[in-house]
Amino acid sequence: MKRHKLKDAVKDIFYFMGLSDLLLSFSRHGKYPKFLVLTYHRVCPHYEKDGYLGVPEDVFEQHMKFMRNNFKVVSMTDGLNALNSVNSGEIYAAINFDDGYMDNYLHAFPVLKKYKIPATVYLATDFIGGEHIFWWDRVYEIISSRSKDAEKNIPITESINSLLRTKSQGDIKKMIQDLEGPCFPDKRLRPVEMLGWKEIREMRSCGVDFGAHTKTHSNLCMLDDARALEELQGSKKQIEDAIGEEVTGFTYPFGILDQRVKGLVQSSGFKYARSTIKGFNDKDVDRFCLNSIGGGSLLKTSFLAARISVDSLRRRRTVDI
């Protein structure tokens, strides 16, 4: 706990001494621009941090102010197109949301409209218009039922979920049942409301783009080709039929991919796909393995600034797939 607080203090000092601005200025030196993709899952009311994937609305608003003041915030398509422009050290940025939680509409969308910031939401289409409890949220509820210490519960949850995401659905179900124990079923879990087509169409009319995130948020590397293609093509077609335009973007569930899965994404007609590999993107980046930086776990703008500025100077990272 002391180490965690020390790291937070270092991030604050880093930001308030202007070191973040200094590093960003270095990253702008060069012939070609860079492209930052900042990712979120959930945005909650001001007074709560809902689950380990959520960031409160007031914190999200501060994040968006920082992004607007420090980068050229654009759509994914415009950001990718800008990577080929020469004689520019500009840093472009795009805002992404994964899964399709209803709170994207309730709490993130008003902020995006207020600051005229474009964004893209990647939908797990089988859950559109309904209520659902994702297994990773269930793990957090189980851990939180045993301790009220959120600072400890979140890293514990992340450790368990990192293990579970590489397991089959059957193994995940059994391991969660074992984690619950005999007493937990007495506790009622609150289902999470997901975006409906009404909200999706309204957001699209105001400049929010939509991409695919499979049908059921399954680890594609665990599926055979036929099932993986059903997840990919099915989610793409469902969104296209509903909004009446081509869906070009995809994000890998859990950020997990290999060469086979990447090839299936390409053959399904997508133009790009985003991973969870940390870092910025440059003109040589693999369009089907885009880097990104997570913003949803950061509850201070100073933490966000420190993370982004450090990653802006990293060498382009790749993954062995």
Q: Which two tokens stand for residue 251?
A: 């994000």
Residue with tokens 């914190």: 59
Alpha-carbon separation of residue 3 from 6, 81, 161, 272 (angstroms) = 5, 42, 23, 39
* Helix, strand, or coil (residue 230): helix
Of the candidates 65, 128, 74, the residue with the CA atom closest to the CA atom of residue 96: 74
Residues of the chain with CATH 3.20.20.370: 19-131+195-312
Q: What share of the chain is helix, strand, coil (3-state, %, to 5)?
A: 50, 15, 35
pLDDT in tens, 9-18: 555 555 555 5
User: In whole angstroms, what is the distance from residue 253 CA to residue 297 CA?
Assistant: 18
User: In whole angstroms, what is the distance from residue 295 CA to residue 265 CA?
Assistant: 25
Which range, of 2-6, 91-95, 114-118, averages the lowest pLDDT? 2-6
Other CB atoms closer than 10 Å to residue 45's CB: what's the count? Answer: 14
- Neighbouring C-alpha atoms within 13 Å toward the C-beta of 250: 33
* Helix, strand, or coil (residue 223): coil
User: In whole angstroms, what is the distance from residue 120 CA to residue 98 CA?
Assistant: 9
Of the candidates 112, 107, 81, the residue with the CA atom closest to the CA atom of residue 95: 112
DSSP 8-state class, residue 101: B
Other CB atoms closer than 10 Å to residue 208's CB: what's the count? Answer: 24
Average pLDDT value for residue range 304-311: 77
Q: What's the confidence (pLDDT) of residue 1? A: 45
Other CB atoms closer than 10 Å to residue 158's CB: what's the count? Answer: 15
Thinking of the domain 19-131+195-312, which architecture would CATH place it in?
Answer: Alpha-Beta Barrel (3.20)
pLDDT in tens, 135-190: 999 998 888 888 777 778 888 999 999 999 999 889 999 999 888 877 665 555 67
Give CA angle at 23 (21, 25), nearest 5°. Answer: 70
Which range, of 13-22, 77-86, 231-240, averages the lowest pLDDT? 13-22
Average pLDDT value for residue range 51-63: 88
The letter for the amino acid at 228 is A
Q: What's the confidence (pLDDT) of residue 319? A: 45
